[in-house]
Chain A
Amino acid sequence: MRLIKKSIERDMSGSVTLYPEEPEDMWHAFNLIRPNDIVRAPAIRRVTTESRTGSTNSQRVHTTLTVSVRKIDFDAQAGQLHINGQVTEENKIVSVGAFHTLDLELHRNFTLIKSEWDSVTLGVVKEACDAGDRAEIGAVVLQEGFANVCFITEYMTVLRQRIEVPVPRKRVGSTTSYEKGLQKFYDVVYQSITRHFDFSALKVILLASPGFVADGLKDYIFLTAVQTDYKPILHSKKKFVTVHCSTGHIHSLNEVLKSPEVAATLANTKFAKETKAMEAFFEMMEKDEFKAWYGPKEVERAVDKGAVGTLLVSNSLFRSDNVAERRKYVRMVEEVEKGGGTSLVLSSIHESGIRLDGLGGIAAILTFPLHDLDESDTEEEGGEVEGEKGKLEEKVVA
């Protein structure tokens, strides 16, 4: 993403013009744009004209529209962002109040006007425009019979394909059906990765499995690539890394990303930091349960007492439609940073973010132990957790 123009007033209202360059930028846009914001972007609108005789004629017209956002929807698979809203500026084609759904496009500027830019959203703009070296990873998490082919970027984990191929078990007297089934399974995975991965663009391709399945797959991939003389794979042979994990489910990515082999190559990437921070939280939970707290109520109290050393917030919380609630979390982040602590905003479509969302989207590692943060109003808290859950459901399905 490139920042084209930024004009923010003293009262923090103002506009930002951005130029999205890659699919991941749509994810940033999704985290920036909130209901009631105003977005100006190029659009295609179908215009129907009726002649005097009553015959109709419809045309697709390119134009620029300005809408006040009502609903926003992100499709991680396709990397598309749909913004639904009401037109606020009249032009030749549309009148004020007409509804339109904008599909943001790559390589076309869009302008976002907010009545209040907070530090977190400005942080997102800064991060999105930071052209550091991007680590893109292809990962296959598998076990005998099923595999998840995913694509990991700085801010997203996108599941490209889920593969399920039945592999018969070994039976007395004959193992041929088992071996045949396994070969077929490898073949399906091979086909899938050649279709979904751009080997030259990826930094690493991780093959992770329990037991020896990943090694088997790696052997199969190179054998087949040599046989079919498939150059892209043969040229990126060094990028294939096999890692151990305990299951083929996608949540094993947590384990994969913290394994030493991977951590060494990807030490400075955002998701490696996020994974490490989540790990530290769970470790603290086991070591000293009064220094690790999760849930909005508890963490808020800890922040008020100035005890938070590291604050972990999922960005799903900042996507809340409720302005007051958004402000609350922004305040917490600012408070912690003011007090010398660190705060990390985790991407909710990374595995570590999903884990954090499971804890209510917010967690904190304290600098000194605090007891009984959850003592009072236990009942009320129950309602809070439910509300949290409802919010999580609107969360995009990666």
Chain B
Amino acid sequence: MSRHKNIRNLDPYAELDDFDGEGYDDISESDERRLKEGLTQVRGTLGRAGISATDKEIEESLWYYYFDVSKTVNYILSLHTPAKKPKKRPQSQFTQKDQKGAPTAAQAKAFSEPSPDDIVMAAQSGSKGLNNAKKKTEKPVEKMEAAVQAVAIDNAPVKARKRIDVLEEFKKTKTKENANFVVIGHVDAGKSTLMGRLLYDCGVIDERTIQKFKVEAEKIGKSSFHFAWVLDQTNEERSRGVTMDIATNHFSTASTNFTILDAPGHRDFVPNMIAGASQADFAVLVLDASTGAFESGFQNNGQTREHTLLARAIGVSRIIVAVNKLDAVNWNHDRYIEITQQMGHFLSNAGFSSNSLSFVPCSGLTGANIVHDARDKLPWYSGPTLLQTLESSKPRSRAINSPLRITISDVFRGGIQNPVSVSGRIEAGSLQIADALLTLPSRESATAKDIEINEQSSEWAVAGHNVTLHLSGIDIIHLKPGDVICSPDSPIVPLNCFDLKILSFETITPMLVGIHRGRLNASGRVISLLESMDKATGKTLKKKPRHIAPGMLARIRVEVTLGAGIPVEKGNKLVLRLGGKTVAAGVVE
């Protein structure tokens, strides 16, 4: 999509390009064959019912339901039953897909048909979001002073810096709240499926895509994975049925723009989970309620435990516990209570205060109590749905006034126009287009050519936003995930050796460790143990201890073994891992 953005920048009339959907190629031969087959089947069924529909109608709906004959028949029936007047489908949602999608779809605009309520809702809220975004970008333009400085850069023309008072602007704009949340939990707890369902029920994913995934997933014998495929997009993730890397997705409700960071649950990919959690405002912990599964995720090596402790160590203080797969235990109330009691106890021990905790029973596969409540299945539950709980969660406070810090989570080629793009969360400060930036530890300077928030171009961004930056004046080899972008006036000094105040999870001796912070993954070494401390008072228990037992508070000195140091500063939260286990979490002193 980003490519289209820039074409638009060049050509003001090319706005329509923006609606050019991706992934809908011309109709393939096999699709055409299936369309024909479906057509005859539907015709047969309809003929028996005594209803005549045009070929076009049938083909249309077959395409929409991804060749699902029974759904198509139901739909056509409802269309031709006069008692139930179909609602008009909003066009903006559908036309974009059909333009390319089916050759038969030329008349789709004039086509009226009913659709499940959620789709209509979603389309409406989607278009609302679009309008809002437009307003947001126009506003600063009105306020703006005349463009003054043209910045000369070597490889690309950059728009003049508009000298927006970003802080002022941020206070003024009453746009929707932005909230990022990370989804954590043990492997196979159903994190991706739950999020896929949430996106589907919010209308971000349309019926056709889900039906397509369903058919394809059945083909490789993973029929219950179709919702997870919304987020698990690489071939490997799909064929193995395991999320491997953070998937980022957006959706919006009336009050908030949400960014989902779907973390992998497999223990090998905990570093990726750390990257996701460091971008999040709060966490959704997904628990598998089925018999034995909750317990195994909660055992010593289970990721329910490790993820929760990590999220807390990274600074996530609010947590929503989604008790998932309740359909597998027959919506049993006792099971739900048992799990909430155990978890509540564990979470308060881990340092989450009781008012920052919420429990929501749900089922990702059936969709119960996610967007729509499920009183029929959960008569014993009267609280909010998962979506309502998400909406009531306020993001953590943001250091807008501090100097700029962005931890890069991905470096990629944004397209022909943007050879160097990075994405990451603004941890502190603010920036606007044409700001000068400094990357660390490479110490190269760059200029922000364009800023995107949730795939929408923006003039500025502040702390808390997950942004995509298109840079100019820098080569891609100077950037890698885990690097930090900061303002040139107050840079970070990359450190080679630093002291950490840690909470240990395993026994610590002087040893080699992996240092993690966001995407940063460096190899380091604990060179000395300075002191162990009392957990309650912070007083020194023993100077230069021989080793630190699990669960202790201590100060240690860590050295980076490779390269020119890592970009960390006082107050940064780091995680130390060794041999697939988190050994400690700490704060740089």
Question: Per a CB cutoff under 8 Å, which of B455, B521, B546 touches A289?
Answer: B546
**Closest CB of chain A to B98's CB: distance in Å?**
18
Q: From DSSP, what is the main secondary structure of chain B's interface residues? A: mixed
8 Å CB interface, B415-459 against A: 455
Residues of chain A in range 286-343 having any CB-CB distance to chain B below 8 Å:
286, 289, 293-295, 298
Complex alpha-carbon distance, A170 and B246, angstroms: 8
Q: Are A358 and B244 in contact (CB under 8 A)?
A: no
User: 0/1 per residue, B240-274, Cβ < 8 Å to A?
Assistant: 10001111111000000000000000101101000
Provide the bound-state CA to CA distance between A377 and B226, in Å.
Answer: 65
| B-contact bits for A194-220, CB 8 A (1 contact / 0 none) | 000000000000000011100010000
Q: How far is the CA of A172 from the CA of B410 in the complex (A)?
A: 13
Complex Cα–Cα for A289 and B247 (A): 43
B525 at the interface (CB under 8 A from A): yes
The closest CB in chain A to the CB of B546 belongs to: A374
Known: A294-B509, A389-B527. A166 touches B271 (CB 8 A): no
Q: Is the CB–CB distance between B577 and A358 below 8 Å?
A: no
Pairwise interchain contact A172-B271, C-beta atoms closer than 8 A: no
The distance from the CB of B551 to the nearest CB of chain A, in whole angstroms, is 13
Interface-forming stretch among A2-10, A27-35, A183-191, A248-256?
A248-256
Interface members, chain B 310-355 (any A CB < 8 Å): none
**Contact A211 to B269, CB < 8 A, known contacts A164-B480, A170-B234, A173-B23:** yes
Segment of B46-54, B364-372, B388-396, B510-518 in the binding face: B510-518
Q: Is the CB of B523 within 8 A of A249?
A: yes
Q: Bound complex: CA of A354 vs CA of B562, how far in Å?
A: 14
* Stretch touching chain B among A13-21, A266-274, A378-386: A378-386
- Closest B residue to A215 by beta carbon equals B236
Closest to A289 in B: B547
Interface size range on A against B? 35 or more
Q: Which of B23, B271, B412 has the most CB of A within 10 A?
A: B412
Is B235 located at the chain interface by the 8 A CB criterion? yes
Residue interface mask A228-257, B partner, CB < 8 A = 1? 000000000000000011110111101100
Q: Give the residue among A210, A378, A382 with the most B Cβ atoms within 10 A.
A: A210
Q: Which of A343-398 contact B (CB under 8 A)?
A: 354-355, 358-360, 374, 378, 381-382, 385, 389
Tell whether, in the assembled complex, residue A212 and residue B236 are in contact, meaning their CB atoms are under 8 Å apart: yes
For A247, what are the chain B residues with a Cβ–Cβ distance below 8 Å? 271, 514, 521, 523, 577
B507 and A169: CB pair below 8 A? no
Q: Is the CB of B269 within 8 A of A169?
A: no
Chain A residues with Cβ below 8 Å from B116 are none
Pair count A-B, CB < 8 A: 113
A9 to chain B, nearest CB (A): 42
B523 to A250, Cβ gap below 8 A?
A: yes
Interface string of B576-589 (1 = CB under 8 A from A): 01111100000000
Within 8 Å CB of A249, what residues of B? Answer: 512, 514, 523
**For the complex, is A117 an interface residue (Cβ under 8 Å from B)?**
no
Minimum CB–CB distance from A245 to chain B (whole Å) comes to 8
Residues on A with beta carbons closer than 8 Å to the beta carbon of B233: 170, 175
* A169:B509 contact, CB within 8 angstroms: no
Q: Measured between alpha carbons, how far is A145 from B510 in the docked complex, in Å?
A: 28
A378 to B530, CA, bound (A): 12
Are A166 and B476 in touch, CB under 8 angstroms?
A: yes
Q: How far, in Å, is A282 (CB) from chain B's closest CB?
A: 7
Contacts A285-B509, A289-B546, A358-B512 hold; do A177 and B244 have CB atoms under 8 A apart?
no
Q: Are B543 and A378 in contact (CB under 8 A)?
A: yes
Instruction: Tell whether, in the assembled complex, residue B268 and residue A210 are in contact, meaning their CB atoms are under 8 Å apart.
Output: yes
Complex formed: what's the CA distance from A309 to B483 in Å? 47
Q: Given the complex, which residues of B lie within 8 Å of A252, measured CB to CB?
A: 579
Q: Are B268 and A211 in contact (CB under 8 A)?
A: yes
Any chain B CB within 8 A of the CB of A178?
yes
Could you say which residues of chain A place their CB within 8 Å of the CB of B125?
Answer: none
- B510 lies within 8 A of A358 (CB): yes
Q: Are B234 and A210 in contact, with the CB atoms below 8 A? A: no
- Knowing A164-B480, A211-B244, the reply to whether A359 touches B523 (Cβ < 8 A) is no
Q: Which residues of A contact B266 (CB under 8 A)?
A: 211
> Given the complex of chains A and B, what is the CA–CA distance between A270 and B234 in angstroms?
42
Among B1, B236, B514, B581, the residue within 8 A (CB) of A173 is B1
Among residues of A, the one whose C-beta sits closest to the C-beta of B269 is A211
Query: Are A251 and B512 also in contact (CB < 8 A) when A169-B412, A175-B234 are?
Result: yes
Contact with A along B518-529 (1 / 0, CB 8 A): 000101011110
Within the complex, the shortest CB–CB distance from B120 to chain A, in Å, comes to: 23
Cβ contact of A246, chosen from B234, B244, B245, B580, cutoff 8 A: B580
Task: Find out whether the CB atom of A174 lies under 8 angstroms from the CB atom of B22.
Answer: yes
Q: Which residues B515-555 have CB closer than 8 A to chain A?
A: 521, 523, 525-528, 543-544, 546-547
A212 touches B507 (CB 8 A): no
**B202 near A: Cβ within 8 Å?**
no
Q: Per a CB cutoff under 8 Å, which of A170, A216, A285, A385 touches B245? A: A170
Tell yes or no: B413 within 8 A of A by CB: yes
Q: Which residues of B contact A255 (CB under 8 A)?
A: 579-580
- Give chain B nearest CB distance to A359 CB in angstroms: 6
Cβ of A168 within 8 Å of any chain B Cβ, yes or no, is yes
Instruction: Say yes or no for A52: interface residue by CB 8 A criterion.
Output: no
Determine the distance from Cα of A127 to Cα of B509 in the docked complex, in whole angstroms: 31
In the assembled complex, the CB of A300 is this many whole angstroms from the nearest CB of chain B, namely 15
Q: Counting CB contacts under 8 A, is A179 at the interface?
A: yes
- Contacting residue for B512 out of A164, A168, A246, A354, CB 8 A: A354
Please, how many angstroms separate the alpha-carbon atoms of A289 and B250 in the complex? 50
Mark contacts of B488-520 with chain A using CB atoms, 8 A cut-off: 1 yes-contact digit, 0 otherwise: 000000000000000000010111101000000
| Residue of A169, A172, A212, A254 with highest tally of chain B CB at under 10 A | A169
A92 within 8 A of B: no
Beyond A211-B269, A247-B577, 15 additional contacts (C-beta under 8 Å) are A169-B410, A169-B412, A170-B245, A171-B248, A171-B412, A172-B248, A175-B233, A246-B579, A246-B581, A247-B523, A251-B512, A285-B509, A285-B547, A355-B512, A358-B510
Query: Interface on B for A, CB 8 Å cutoff?
Result: 1, 22-23, 233-236, 240, 244-250, 266, 268-269, 271, 409-413, 455, 476, 479-481, 507, 509-512, 514, 521, 523, 525-528, 543-544, 546-547, 577-581
Q: Which 6 A-B pairs have the closest CB atoms?
A: A246-B580, A168-B412, A210-B268, A249-B523, A251-B512, A169-B410
A-B contact pairs, 21 of them (CB 8 A): A145-B480, A145-B481, A168-B410, A169-B409, A169-B410, A169-B412, A171-B410, A172-B455, A174-B22, A178-B234, A210-B580, A246-B268, A246-B580, A247-B577, A255-B579, A359-B509, A374-B546, A378-B543, A378-B544, A382-B544, A385-B528
